[in-house]
Homo-oligomer: A and B are copies of this chain.
Amino acid sequence: MTVYRKALFDIPADIIYLDGNSLGPLPKSAGARVNRMIEAEWGQQLIRGWNDAGWMDQPARIGNLVGRLIGAPAGSVVIGDTLSIKVYQALAAALEMRPERKVILSDSGNFPSDLYMAQGLVETLGRGHLLRVAAPAEVASAIDTSVAAVMLTEVDYRTGRIHDMPSITAQAHQAGAVMIWDLAHSAGAIPVDVAGSNCEFAVGCTYKYLNGGPGAPAFIYVRPDLVQQARPALSGWLGHAAPFAFEAGYRPADSIERMRVGTPPVIQMSALEAALEVWDGISMDEVRVASIELSELFIGEVEARCPDLELASPRHPGQRGSQVSFAFEHGYAVMQALIARGVIGDFRAPDIMRFGLTPLYLDVDDVIAAARVLQEVLEQELWRDHACQPSNPVT
């Protein structure tokens, strides 16, 4: 069975979209679903939509849909806020689980916002915590008994390099540390076994490989046996055990719903819920096989056609997520030239061109065509017509 479902997406005919690792394209069902939500639910049901249209249950309901794709059991994932907020929640709870330790360990391949949120928390706590950042290849060996929490992104946003999630988690546990995984570039990209890894926390976003739309809300997983020990630092009313009792004191819910904070973004949630229907019946193992086939083909084609580019991703497909990156001195201008010709990837400073290989809507012909355009841009130096100044694309 193929995982190729391009007919379920609205992608402009003249575009080859290799940027699903940054923002997934529009699933056709999302537009219709949001339209219905706005007109029939908000418009007609008004305040009654919170109960009658199921708005209040969306965060847990959609959490289960995401959970299936990352190996998390039902009832262990909830949707809301942004990934940065979910990182903060996980980290704050993790540090309280190891009050005698002061070190947060991460790596320099982590997405900067994760590091920033940790820095902010350390400063808020004001109790001598320390964010220690190792090189990705050295982070596992940097885990020692001073570490309260290890916080890593499984798939590197620049290179696509995969951390060994079960192995690093085991090392963290052996040293007595709490493990937090950021699955931003994993969910919908590669098979993930959150429960099997035994990690305490996992977080991620839904607007990349899950195609939830720009600014789609994030998710958080807490290992079920620890939910009641994970204190919500961001103790908003919808994480309360009885939000509508309007009690004076905060009492967290017994379940993963304690990680909810404020009123959920219902319109945005509706787009995400529709987008996840695309995954009905798809296994992540099948996605992985197809993703590797496309990635290997792309690397082969590009290396044959564009000898000046240097592969910046691991060569072994087992060590790579669902993106391929190449380094090139004029990478920014090359990417602008590609985009002008309908091949959309993106660029990360200083010299990385990223290409997301997403088998739900890309096939072999797309990959070969993209490599051909890249060859043309390089051979004819078409990139010289483009600015060398990066503007601000989004991760």
Contacts and interface: CB of A to CB of B under 8 A. Distances in A.
Contacts of A124: 92, 124-125, 233
A10 interface: yes
Contact of A248 (B44, B85, B133): B133
Contacts of A17: 46
Contacts of A10: 39, 43
B34 A243 contact: no
B50 A85 contact: no
A231 to B, nearest CB: 7
A346 interface: yes
A141 to B, nearest CB: 20
A175 interface: no
Interface stretch (A70-78, A212-220, A280-288, A375-383): A212-220
B126 A263 contact: no
Contacts of A116: 235-237, 240, 249-250
Interface SS of A by simple majority: mixed
Given A25-B46, A214-B55, A231-B123, A84 B267 contact: no
Interface residues of A, number: 96
Interface in A226-252: 231-238, 240, 243-250
Contact of A51 (B218, B247, B249, B391): B391
B394 A50 contact: yes
A300 interface: no
Contacts of A245: 349
A302 interface: no
A38 interface: yes
B393 A81 contact: no
